[in-house]
Amino acid sequence: MKLYSQCGFGDGEKTYNGMADGTIQGAIFSPKDILPNKLETKLGNYKKQYPNNDFFIDPQFYVNLHAAEPEAKLGKLTEWPCFSGYRRSQLEEDRVIENVLRKYIDMQCKMDVKAIIAPNIHISRSFDSIEASIAKKFIKQTAPVYDKYGDKRKVYASLVISREALLQQSEFELFLNDITSYMDPPDGIYLIVSSRSSIARTDIYNADVIANWMILNYAFNVNGLEIINGYSDIISPLLGIVGGNAGATGWWSNLRMFSMQRFLPTGSGGRLPIVRYLSRLLLNRIMFTEKDSFSTIVPKILNGLLRDKDYNPEPQRADEVLQSWETIAEINKKVYTSDIKQSLKLFEDVLDEAENAYIQIKARLAIDTKSNDEHIKPMREAIKIFKQRAEL
């Protein structure tokens, strides 16, 4: 499975350095955070230096329905010629959907991207909704509209869904049944699962959410579609095992976990979070201060990888994401085999090791809420549910 940089504000040299490390194989750019001409130049530079890496633009069309909100945080999105606000009722017309697809495909066709990512809206509540029906139309029309361009690159449809929608099993299955039935499907899917906020860890670390995220990857892969998982962070290896082609994560919490809050007004600015260390053993980020104390109890919580050196004694904020990419890439290598069942078993072994390590640490130390082991149970349960739903 490939790993991409989920770009946002304040990239600096991070994506370059990740590619230099060889831990990421590309990037997904965010129009909210970069102007079209700047991105064009940037893409040119990246391609010169890393011609084999993959570069994409997330159209971020899912924000357009909120464009009319007075305090919407649209950033540079409004500077993109394809951008304009829409009402949901407008998108109920096929003609309007076609126009939107064309505008966003036009824009990307002019850029040096590996493949085109078509726009779509966010399914915020349920698969049994007008939003879901509009989203299906976007997916269905992506390939037929793109085929007229004669562009040789692949086209991906976007699918942006809330964790609430993923929790409604029968509606989810009907939706999946519909979108896998299209006779002229896109080449792939750019898949995003949204949480209510980018710090609500339990939103995503929920067995049913992860299991159905896995099912989407599995079903699309079985149907011959490629899957790029946006904002998949530490879930990426699980998604790769079941058929995902790529995962992505970035440097801010809102680039690791997707939430529409990123585009909506927030109460206060808040302070910068503490820099964390992603432990391969714990499958979690712990505060860099915890790293030292935990490692006296379980030395293997240290990854022993190249980027560990940046944490001695104190890491720079810009290095945090490089360490994350390095760790996720290592987990990918450890659990991925060509056999799904075997890979899932390997991941279960990884969860066992994490659980044992947490038991030892918890016996002697108090653990910060974000550093604790609440991710393990849902991941283990998700594998069990996935196997049953995937008929494995």
Partner 1 sequence: MQIKPDIDKIKNNITEIESIGKKLGEGGFKIVYETSIKGEAEALKIVYIPDDPMDPTVKEENISRLKREIKLLQKCKTPFLVKLGTLHPVETKIDDEEYIVYSEEILAGDSMREKIKNGYKPTITELAKLGICALEVISELWNEEEAVHRDIKPDNIMVSGNENRPYVMLDLGVAFIVGGTPLTRDPRSAPGTLYYLAPEMLLPGFRESMDYRADLYTLALTIYEYAVGKNPFMRRGDPEYTTLHRINSYTPEPLETIRTDLPKEFCEVINQLLKKKPALRPNLRKVKKLMEKYQ
Compute the distance between CA of residue 210 and CA of residue 390 in angstroms, rounded to an integer.
13
The minimum distance between CB 215 and partner 1, in angstroms, equals 8
Choice from 70, 150, 224, 304 touching partner 1 (CB under 8 A): 224
Among the residue ranges 48-56, 92-100, 215-223, 278-286, the one whose residues contact partner 1 (CB under 8 A): 215-223
Here's the x/- map for partner 1, 352-391, by CB under 8 A: it reads as --------------------------------------xx
* Closer residue to partner 1 (CB): 177 or 337: 177
- DSSP reduced 3-state for 231: coil
The minimum distance between CB 161 and partner 1, in angstroms, equals 15
Instruction: Look up residue 388 and give its DSSP letter.
Output: H
**Which residues share a beta bridge with 190?**
158, 228
Compute the distance between CA of residue 19 and CA of residue 49 in angstroms, rounded to an integer.
10
Among the residue ranges 159-167, 198-206, 216-224, 260-268, the one whose residues contact partner 1 (CB under 8 A): 216-224
Would you count residue 219 as binding partner 1 (CB under 8 A)? yes
Report CA torsion sign: 282, 289, 308, 12. Answer: positive
Instruction: Look up residue 69 and give its DSSP letter.
Output: S
Would you count residue 178 as binding partner 1 (CB under 8 A)? yes
Number of chain residues interacting with partner 1 (CB under 8 A): 16
Would you count residue 173 as binding partner 1 (CB under 8 A)? yes
* Closer residue to partner 1 (CB): 209 or 354: 209
Choice from 109, 111, 176, 346 touching partner 1 (CB under 8 A): 176
Alpha-carbon separation of residue 83 from 94, 174, 328 (angstroms): 18, 32, 34
Would you count residue 168 as binding partner 1 (CB under 8 A)? no
Would you count residue 340 as binding partner 1 (CB under 8 A)? no
Would you count residue 143 as binding partner 1 (CB under 8 A)? no
The answer to whether residues 307 and 326 touch, using CB atoms and an 8 Å cutoff, is yes
* Closer residue to partner 1 (CB): 72 or 216: 216
Among the residue ranges 109-117, 170-178, 273-281, 374-382, the one whose residues contact partner 1 (CB under 8 A): 170-178
- φ, ψ dihedrals at 156, nearest 5°: -110, 140
**Which residues share a beta bridge with 287?**
276
* Closer residue to partner 1 (CB): 221 or 327: 221
Choice from 129, 168, 180, 197 touching partner 1 (CB under 8 A): 180
Choice from 181, 266, 337, 342 touching partner 1 (CB under 8 A): 181
| Torsion angle defined by CA atoms of residues 173, 177, 179 and 185, in that order, rounded to the nearest 10 degrees | 140
The minimum distance between CB 340 and partner 1, in angstroms, equals 11
Choice from 197, 223, 261, 295 touching partner 1 (CB under 8 A): 223
Compute the distance between CA of residue 46 and CA of residue 139 in angstroms, rounded to an integer.
29
The answer to whether residues 141 and 94 touch, using CB atoms and an 8 Å cutoff, is yes
The minimum distance between CB 79 and partner 1, in angstroms, equals 38
Q: What is the DSSP pairing of strand 226-229 with strand 246-249? A: parallel
| Torsion angle defined by CA atoms of residues 291, 19, 318 and 305, in that order, rounded to the nearest 10 degrees | 20
Compute the distance between CA of residue 72 and CA of residue 32 in angstroms, rounded to an integer.
12
Q: Which of 159, 384, 143 is nearest to 258 (CA)?
A: 159
H/E stretch holding 326 reads: helix 317-335
Here's the x/- map for partner 1, 10-49, by CB under 8 A: it reads as ----------------------------------------
The minimum distance between CB 247 and partner 1, in angstroms, equals 22
**Which residues share a beta bridge with 375?**
none
Among the residue ranges 99-107, 178-186, 244-252, 294-302, the one whose residues contact partner 1 (CB under 8 A): 178-186
- φ, ψ dihedrals at 248, nearest 5°: -150, 150
Residue whose tokens read 């010629």: 81
Would you count residue 308 as binding partner 1 (CB under 8 A)? no
Site residues for partner 1 per CB under 8 A: 173-174, 176-178, 180-181, 183, 185, 218-219, 222-224, 390-391
